[in-house]
Structure 1
């Protein structure tokens, strides 16, 4: 079997995420053509539409967060193997389920077991994100040679944020708590506070230091002038 390049995997990732994020708009509530639009019906429609639009925005930015995370991951990977490809294809399959599970977040049916499906979907995406990064970071054939342990650990902790938030959402939904839509924005608050600045590489780690200079002298060496022999008259 021919090897799959990282570029091809990035392309299918971009396509799947773009397609799924577009499908989310279908969950926005629209009035039926045969519905009688009384004042009460209009008020109910406006309320339902506002809730569905808010849920659409929330699911959209969550998918955008995962897409950005994979962009950061691929930026630090030089190649992929078939095990990584299988894990990533599994995550893409779960991404496609998001429009379906997100359609139950407005609690139209009054059943928490339906509303929690989206958070289980969220949890599965977050789990596979961590599994893929852990596998790539511990495989020298996949990770970029210049990656340092602080950078690997920083991304590992960063990718844990959606996992924790999804678990919190599952607990809150099963406990019967209402109005938990703030969870859409909670990951970005955590990321903005604790993960704003990645670890900086030292000069040696970045490959900018000259190993021949071990005396601490950073001055440039004096240029050597080439002697030009005088021509005989």
Structure 2
């Protein structure tokens, strides 16, 4: 008995799946991160020349921009950390699928919002209502990144054969750090808004601690 010809729907689906390559997602990610990281610095506004007539006025202006520059550098470094983590994560994948693709698109959507929320947090440091969007943005970026790895690693769904269980747990544990820190920052924002982003500085130290613990186990 001859095999039945595939339906048009199945043919379209198969063709669509062939387009879901890791290279395309990585290229999109690199492009968006490059744009977002550039927009971060472009959001720093300079005053008109007529407003800076002498050295004392320039000094006052620079002092007033301290929190803006701090939020810029913090946001830039956190994005750099996400970019390197995304590159590392994808090096352990053998393929992708529509669900994983859309999880990454959601991750990029929240990432693209960061220039707005960081500008808001930098310009208005003393109000909790201007700090919460920044911390919520960080939470959503990190949670979507976490969900992407959880989905890819569950039952080794999209992983290469040489990825160890220890490595899966290590990446998963590291991915939990930023969402938890962002939640702490949101709580702190209601008490001392201007200092609510300080807990983010602990992330590299926590990651180093996790790395040392897993090195000892291996």
User: So what's the TM-score if we normalise by structure 1?
Assistant: 0.78
Shift, 1:52, TM fit: 1.8
* Contact 1:30 1:49 (C-alpha < 8 Å) held by counterparts: no
Gaps of 5+ in 1: 203-233
Map 1:13-92 to 2 at 5 A: 13-35=29-51, 37=53, 41-92=57-108
CA 1:154/1:109 → structure 2, altered by over 3 Å: closer, same or farther? closer
Residue 116 of structure 2 is aligned to residue 100 of structure 1: yes
Specify the structure having the higher radius of gyration (Cα): 1
Shift, 1:165, TM fit: 1.0
* Contact 2:93 2:158 (C-alpha < 8 Å) held by counterparts: yes
- Residue 157 of structure 1 aligns to a residue whose secondary structure is helix
Name the CA distance, whole Å, in 2 between partners of 1:73 and 1:36: 47
Name the CA distance, whole Å, in 1 between partners of 2:58 and 2:19: 56
Residue in 1 aligned with 2:7?
Answer: none
* Contact 1:29 1:52 (C-alpha < 8 Å) held by counterparts: no
- Residue 122 of structure 2 aligns to a residue whose secondary structure is coil
Query: Given the alignment, which residue of 99, 111, 126 partners 2:127?
Result: 111
Name the CA distance, whole Å, in 2 between partners of 1:199 and 1:5: 32
Name the CA distance, whole Å, in 2 between partners of 1:42 and 1:60: 25
- Residue 195 of structure 1 aligns to a residue whose secondary structure is helix
Gaps of 5+ in 2: 1-15
- Deviation track 1:141-193 (CA, whole Å, cap 9, x = no partner) reads 41111222221111110111111111111110022343234333211111122
- Residue 168 of structure 1 aligns to a residue whose secondary structure is helix
The count of corresponding residues between Structure 1 and Structure 2 is 202
Residue 215 of structure 2 is aligned to residue 195 of structure 1: no
Name the CA distance, whole Å, in 1 between partners of 2:217 and 2:31: 33
User: So what's the TM-score if we normalise by structure 2?
Assistant: 0.83
* Contact 1:150 1:199 (C-alpha < 8 Å) held by counterparts: no
RMSD: 2.3
Shift, 1:42, TM fit: 2.9
Name the CA distance, whole Å, in 1 between partners of 2:196 and 2:125: 17
